[in-house]
Amino acid sequence: MQLTQRAKPVDRSPMTFLESLYLWNIIKGMGITLKHMFLKKATIQYPEEKRPFSPVFRGLHVLNRDAEGRENCTACGLCAVACPAEAITMEAAERMPGEEKLYREEKYAAKYEINMLRCIFCGLCEEACPKDAIYLSQTFAPANYARKGFIYGKQELLIPHPIEQPEAYQKALGDRQPSSRNANQPVA
């Protein structure tokens, strides 16, 4: 049964004298390599040039802040529940008087850790989050020497402050914006 039209019959006839000299085939092969010298290079010169990501690329997580720089996360734990790889752990704490500039709501995550070796970058945490506090950015986790280095805490995950470091904030924000209704909106 023929599955495709691409099958080529194998020619097993003995080589002619000209073929047995190999010279003609060698010249043909050299023509091919010469042609490739002038073709476009496939290389992407990495540090200077970067391969563009797909618009749906899911990279490293970002813990978001609102426009005033307050952390969105309320440590509700929905992301941890949604996570199929069980990569997320957190500890909640209550906001004290005077911390209103740091945290948006009365409860916040004192500890928030994602194990990047467990994470499968599925984005379910982003979908689960009711506060748009977590979303997947367009960078990826850099290499590390120890397993410990892959457990990212708030220090690594938290987005830079939008007022104090606007440039770094925009860079970390990337093209992918949180989509939900209350994204970056101050609480009424």
Q: Whose Cβ is closer to other proteins: residue 41's or residue 50's?
A: 41
- Give the integer Cα–Cα distance in Å for 113 and 149: 12
Chosen residue from 13, 45, 54, 155 binding other proteins by CB under 8 A = 45
Q: Which two tokens stand for residue 36?
A: 């490739």
Instruction: List the one residue from 1, 7, 10, 39 that touches other proteins (CB under 8 A).
Output: 39
Closest CA to 138 of 173, 106, 183, 181: 173
Q: Which of 2, 5, 16, 43 binds other proteins (CB under 8 A)?
A: 43
**Closest CB to other proteins among 37 and 143?**
37
**Is the CB of residue 75 less than 8 Å from the CB of residue 40?**
no
Query: Are 64 and 178 contacting, i.e. CB atoms less than 8 angstroms apart?
Result: yes
CB of 29 to other proteins, least distance (A): 5
Question: What is the contact mask toward other proteins in residues 18 to 37, using x (rule: CB under 8 A)?
Answer: -----x--x--xx-xxx-xx
Nearer to other proteins, 10 or 39 (CB): 39
- Would the CA dihedral through 58, 105, 89, 151 be positive or negative? positive
When asked if residue 10 is in the footprint of other proteins (CB under 8 A), the reply is: no
Using rule CB under 8 A, residue 17 touches other proteins: no
28, two tokens: 């043909």
Signed CA dihedral, 128, 67, 160, 76: sign only? negative
- Residues in contact with other proteins by CB under 8 A are 23, 26, 29-30, 32-34, 36-43, 45
